Structure 1
Amino acid sequence: MKKFLTLALAAVLAAGMMAGCGPAAPSNSSSAPADGSAASDAAPAPTGDTIKIGVLAPLTGSVSTYGTAVKNGLEMAKEEINAAGGILGKQVELLIEDEKGDVTEATNAYNKLLSQGIVALIGDVTSQPSNAVAQLAADPSDGTPMLTPTGTAANITLNGSNIFRTCFLDPFQGQIMATFASEKLGTKSAAIMYNSSSDYSQGVADAFKTTAEAKGMTVVSYEAYGDADTDFKSQLTNVVAANPDVLFLPDYYEKLALITAQARDAGFQGPMLGADGWDGVLAQLGDNTAVVDGCYFSNHYFVDDTDEKVATFVSNYEGKYNGEVPNAFAALGYDSLYIMKQAIEAAGSTDKAAITSALQAVSYSGVTGDMTFDENGDPIKKVAIIKLQDGAVTLDSKM
């Protein structure tokens, strides 16, 4: 849920991968603009000339880079929407709270947002705070529609029918990468190394293993390590001895820079595969990027995708944020506000139950792809498969 592009979504996810440009007739299908034009029971009913949407994100603390990226994407979308007339003829007001990556801070901040009269929530960013807040929002006495851009843990949306997410789930990445290995790479055997201290890493690893075996692959080595480990000789000795076709590594880019280099030193020369936590590994490797040549990972979007919506988003984001390349957190934040815009317009009001019903019927085409929501509020969308070669990333395929 859980690192990306220049920063990366996976660490975040584990620490705790929309309508037109102006007011429109209610619709169940929309997309982001291609041109880029510019406390529970006592919560007050929405009034005034703005539509208040709450935002929870870690803007300080150890995962602040992720929260900042989501916030940047949201604020760019808000400026575009307001410049085009707002939502239902009203300007959008984002009420943003820094929850510092902490569960208690997140729940307190959420109650504060409720007291300020929000009609919907976009957040949280990481999985544990997202799940804690989802439990509050799903209470029948509350019912605030909640859309987490980047919380990937499966249990978040299971809290209630008013809880949704823009990113895909952790297990889905494992399933997709096992399918890619089998169908695109012709893999017959795989080794897996996972971080036993990380729900993200273990969840993706388990999903990969289950899908790989279902597709006829043999998992020849299943190795665990701890979050504090920096020497992986023991695990890699077992991997190399098992002689797998591929090595699956679902972790974050800081740890992956160590493991991938040590894997090559240990004699493993096959492809290494991973999930969105790989985003950022090239920068972490510095001059040693050759160790990940021929490797692949899944992500929520690809920054150099030729799709017009992606190209326009990237260009506008770089222009607004001093040349900073938007990572997937930023793209998911951007899409999330357009999804919420579409739902409010389809509802024709700021009634929370009506917005929830409209979200359930969303059909959206945005920067991170075309999507609808399933019965659990999880997106049905394609995954970008990214290839690493010669110190660069390219889009291999979408699955």
Structure 2
Amino acid sequence: MSKGKKFLNIFLAAVIIASVLTACGQPAASQDVVRIGLNYELSGGSATYGQGTVDGIMMAIDEVNAAGGVLGKKIEVVKADNKSEPAEATSVATRFATKDKVTAILGPATTGATKATIPVGNKNNVPIISASATADDVTVDAKGVKEYAYRICFNDSFQGTVMANFASNNLKAKSAVIIKDNSSDYGIGLAKNFTDTFKASGGTIVEEEAFVKDDTDFSAILTKIKNKQFDILLISGYYNEAGLIIKQAKDLGIDKPVLGGDGFDSPKLAELAGKDKLNNVYFSNHYSSLDQSPEITKFIEDFKAKYKKSPDAFNALGYDLGKFIADAIKRADSADSVKVKQALDATTDFKGVTGQFSIDKNHNPVKTAVVIELKNGEQAGAVKVQP
């Protein structure tokens, strides 16, 4: 055989092997571990969400590894900071999928960053699972279900519906003002779904105003709505701006009940608004520390012992996400990413601290939500809402 023909045969064999590996999905990079990527906002504007979720994931993975791991192997975590930037999140996901050869990618925490990474997962047959990306089109859009995109939190349609129904039924509100983050999918989606449901129940949207990420002065908006007649104020956005809006609204004498989504759930909200301003504030969430069920009580005690602080919803969602991927790998009986994806599709009655859920045809969980009431910046009440 000539050297040229020998080289050609070797090249063709390499191409065939590469094609087979691509079709089968991503194996773990090492025979001794199952590798999982953590693509999170560890710096930047959404760092409190990212770090909180990672703390929960790491607690879960530590527990899984202490109990023997999965498939007789330990789970190895590869962690990277996406800096709260969608472009960086895409770069991290690409590195995880092509160089680190992870079985699955957990994160990001926010909707925009998560959506930016999904084409990477689909291209490389690697599941991308978010604990907290709530926009409806994270997992499904007009083209259909995104094959390798999953989440374990409820979506904005459900969240907006929950808060609109809470406003109408629990607070007896007939009119609302909306202040939304017009620069984020989260802010836009939550406001739209709240509006649709609130109007369907006979409610009126008196005014809708918009801001963009990193705004700090909301005096023009608040002065405009101050003398209008309305029952509740919906702030559709993250804690960064919501805390400042609440503080500035109260300082102007606007003392209406304030509603929001899970983006309110951060210790920074109280720092920005002031605890004394956080009364008559309600937001939808995935978990409440007021729940006295044994599994949640144990989770809270264990988390406090590990991190010396009380867990919030992002900690709880991260914990569930860590246990969720471990459960899927066990059920797949393989670290192959395609087989793990099939196990994710078949998930029924997974029991987590944020509730029991199954994964539906759109890769969303069917689970309950909680509406939390704040008094002086502390959780004072929680109402569970069924899907």
Q: TM-score by structure 1 length?
A: 0.81
Q: Is the 8 A contact 1:304 1:311 kept in 2?
A: no
**Which structure has more RCO (C-alpha within 8 Å, separation ≥ 6)?**
1
Question: RMSD of the alignment, in Å?
Answer: 2.5
SS at match of 1:244: coil
Q: How many residues align?
A: 356
CA deviation map 1:248-267 (0-9, x unaligned): 11223342233223333444
Task: Give how far 1:233 is off.
Answer: 4.2
Task: Give how far 1:136 is off.
Answer: 1.4
Task: Give how far 1:104 is off.
Answer: 3.5
Structure 1: which 5+ residue stretches go unaligned? 1-38
Please name the residue that 2:290 is paired with.
304
The whole-number CA distance in structure 2 between the counterparts of 1:277 and 1:66 is 9
| Superposed counterparts of 1:1-399, under 5 Å | 45-46=27-28, 47-114=30-97, 115-139=99-123, 142-158=124-140, 160-227=146-213, 229-279=215-265, 280=267, 281-286=269-274, 289-321=275-307, 323-362=308-347, 363-399=349-385
CA deviation map 1:59-78 (0-9, x unaligned): 34443333222222111111
One-letter amino acid of the structure 2 residue matched with residue 182 of structure 1: S
Task: Give how far 1:352 is off.
Answer: 2.4
SS at match of 2:136: coil
CA deviation map 1:282-305 (0-9, x unaligned): 23233xx34332221111211232
The whole-number CA distance in structure 2 between the counterparts of 1:266 and 1:103 is 36
The whole-number CA distance in structure 1 between the counterparts of 2:251 and 2:231 is 17
CA deviation map 1:260-284 (0-9, x unaligned): 2333344433311111222232232
The whole-number CA distance in structure 2 between the counterparts of 1:201 and 1:263 is 19
Please name the residue that 1:8 is paired with.
none
Bigger Cα displacement from structure 2, 61-70 vs 90-99: 61-70
One-letter amino acid of the structure 2 residue matched with residue 83 of structure 1: A
Distance 1:258 1:98, change over 3 A: closer
The whole-number CA distance in structure 1 between the counterparts of 2:59 and 2:121 is 26
Distance 1:373 1:395, change over 3 A: farther
Q: Is the 8 A contact 1:40 1:111 kept in 2?
A: no
SS at match of 1:397: strand
The whole-number CA distance in structure 1 between the counterparts of 2:32 and 2:95 is 20
Task: Give how far 1:336 is off.
Answer: 0.7
One-letter amino acid of the structure 1 residue matched with residue 100 of structure 2: Q
The whole-number CA distance in structure 2 between the counterparts of 1:122 and 1:327 is 19
Task: Give how far 1:164 is off.
Answer: 0.4
Please name the residue that 2:15 is paired with.
none
More helix by percentage: 2
The whole-number CA distance in structure 2 between the counterparts of 1:224 and 1:332 is 29
The whole-number CA distance in structure 1 between the counterparts of 2:214 and 2:116 is 26
The whole-number CA distance in structure 1 between the counterparts of 2:166 and 2:102 is 42
Q: Percent identity?
A: 35
Task: Give how far 1:359 is off.
Answer: 0.9
One-letter amino acid of the structure 1 residue matched with residue 107 of structure 2: G
One-letter amino acid of the structure 1 residue matched with residue 331 of structure 2: A
Bigger Cα displacement from structure 2, 168-177 vs 104-113: 104-113
Task: Give how far 1:317 is off.
Answer: 1.5
